[in-house]
Chain A
């Protein structure tokens, strides 16, 4: 699926540019994107290092196991194939809380760590496990309580009340999250029924 979408993005972009006589634009867009990708990765090195450092302290102090144990009763409902008190729960909780609070750059390191833990439990290493898909469904549809970027954009543009959109945003994103959880469990059942 991703292969097909990637190919469509790439080929249709180049074709449209060629039809419009804008082929040089493709070259500059490609090189701009590459430079940007490296910039993002370099910036991530620092942030990821910081959070993985803290995570290691939390792990050695037993904090990770403690919190994983506390959330296990609820989390086991959503992630039935993750053993109780597994450290994956801690990374998942930290990722979702960071998203919830609008701390995007703290969310990524914990999200990648959660994927690593889920991959350890995954019997087929090249195929997404149901828990991974549930985690990503929660992650990408996750309720963000404070869309900080949007609020700062609005106040820069001279809004009378930059934060007035929070209520509607929370309601809209909640619809998405509820849908993701329901749709995920339907597709999961369907998928494993067939195979």
Chain B
């Protein structure tokens, strides 16, 4: 595992070193090519801004109003039936919607229950094993003007639920409940 942590640390400097060098060897005017490519950056960022604004406003209101807490409460009976600790439920609901929102909840759970408690570990595993599906779909599809998503959301959210249940399973298996 430590080898992979090391790789993660060096991969960006390596790419910054290797790609321009390879380009130079292949006689590409490297700086001009870089600037040509980089000039598209601002266009891409501006294009996704409306999708960011729309998503973040809806999620922000849903959370701040207390509707989010109500929804988590509503789902609680189903979860205790499956043996899932209700404390992590808000995290499971928030995770597909907002990366920073979920990170906030994870930080709170780790802080309140301790990083080495069952809840703390489970929150860590859930945070690391799923992604902000709903948000990614809206921004990625939005960036190229796709409005009909077909079955994309079903696949993404289905995978999130599986990862979430698997997190509970492996956390119990490795660290005991």
Q: Tell me the A residues contacting B by CB distance below 8 Å.
A: 1-2, 5-6, 9-10, 12-17, 20, 22, 25-26, 28-30, 32-34, 36-38, 40-42, 44-50, 52-63, 101-103, 106, 109, 111-112, 115-116, 118-119, 124-128, 132-133, 136-137, 139-142, 144-150, 153-154, 157-173, 175-177, 179-180, 183-184, 187-188, 191
Q: Out of A12, A49, A154, which one reaches B41, CB within 8 Å?
A: A49
Q: Out of B4, B140, B160, which one reaches A112, CB within 8 Å?
A: B140
Whether A154 touches B23, Cβ cut-off 8 Å, given contacts A41-B48, A56-B36, is no
Q: Top 6 closest A-B pairs, CB basis?
A: A56-B37, A49-B41, A147-B128, A176-B163, A33-B60, A53-B38
Q: How many residues of B contact A (CB 8 A)?
A: 105
Q: Which residues of B contact A38 (CB under 8 A)?
A: 49, 53
Closest residue of chain A to B127 (Cβ to Cβ) is A150
Q: Out of A101, A126, A133, A147, which one reaches B147, CB within 8 Å?
A: A126
Within 8 A of A (CB), among B102-143: 103, 106-107, 110-111, 114-116, 120-121, 124-134, 136-138, 140-141, 143
Please determine whether A109 and B16 come into contact, CB atoms closer than 8 angstroms: no
Closest residue of chain B to A102 (Cβ to Cβ) is B8
Please determine whether A16 and B65 come into contact, CB atoms closer than 8 angstroms: yes
Closest CB in chain B relative to A143 CB, distance in Å? 9
Interface flags for B163-177 (1: CB within 8 Å of A; 0: not) read 100110111011100
Question: Is B144 an interface residue when CB atoms closer than 8 A count as contact?
Answer: yes
Q: Out of B39, B60, B153, B158, which one reaches A179, CB within 8 Å?
A: B158
25 A-B pairs with CB atoms under 8 Å apart are A12-B67, A17-B64, A26-B64, A29-B57, A36-B100, A40-B56, A49-B39, A52-B37, A52-B40, A57-B34, A57-B37, A63-B19, A115-B141, A139-B131, A140-B137, A146-B8, A157-B111, A159-B115, A160-B116, A165-B128, A168-B167, A169-B124, A169-B129, A172-B163, A172-B170
Closest CB in chain B relative to A176 CB, distance in Å? 3
Closest residue of chain B to A159 (Cβ to Cβ) is B115
Q: Tell me the B residues contacting A by CB distance below 8 Å.
A: 1, 4-5, 7-8, 11-12, 15-16, 19-20, 22-23, 25-26, 28, 30, 33-42, 44-46, 48-49, 52-68, 70, 97, 100, 103, 106-107, 110-111, 114-116, 120-121, 124-134, 136-138, 140-141, 143-156, 158-160, 162-163, 166-167, 169-171, 173-175
Q: Which residues of A contact B138 (CB under 8 A)?
A: 2
Please determine whether A61 and B145 come into contact, CB atoms closer than 8 angstroms: no
Q: Which residues of A contact B116 (CB under 8 A)?
A: 159-161
- How many angstroms from the CA of A119 to the CA of B151 in the assembled complex? 17
Please determine whether B8 and A148 come into contact, CB atoms closer than 8 angstroms: yes
Please determine whether B129 and A173 come into contact, CB atoms closer than 8 angstroms: yes
Please determine whether B156 and A180 come into contact, CB atoms closer than 8 angstroms: yes
